[in-house]
Amino acid sequence: MKNKPKKQRKKKHVKKLQELNIMAKEHFRLLSPTPEYVYRKGNYLKYAYIRNYEELGYTLESLLNVCIMAMDGFDPNNQRRDIKEAHTQLADVLEFTKNLIPHEEFEFLDKSRKLLLTKNKEQ
């Protein structure tokens, strides 16, 4: 096996990093860094779609109702629980949860893995 000059290896590593940075910008979309002025540093969800406060309220209520049903067991005839349209609330919670799956990030991980593994075999 021939030893490649250091400059050539370094050039390949730089190119690989550049490709990863381009892919990261394309695919890391779900989480966004908090702005500089925010006290708690970290990330926030960018694609948790809520149109307005009313929809936020219904989503929170649905989440709580699903938790109640999970703890108590679902009984549509239970008079103590005021859970109307339970099937709709379950569907709403599942839809909201589905929107939290970071497909773009998964795509980036697949592409970067492929890039790193195929490039490493060439060395």
Report the number of secondary-structure helices (H) and strands (E) in the chain.
Answer: 4, 2
* pLDDT surpassing 70 at residue 2: no
pLDDT at 3: 60
Confidence category of residue 121, pLDDT binned at 50, 70, 90:
low
- Exposed / middle / buried, residue 41 (Cβ in 10 Å: 0-12, 13-18, 19+): exposed
Three-state DSSP at 38 gives coil
Of 5, 95, 1, 2, nearest to 50 by C-alpha is 95
Q: What is the pLDDT of residues 10-34, one digit of tens each?
A: 888 888 888 888 888 888 777 777 7
pLDDT at 76: 65
Angle at 13 between CA 113 and CA 42, to 5 degrees: 60
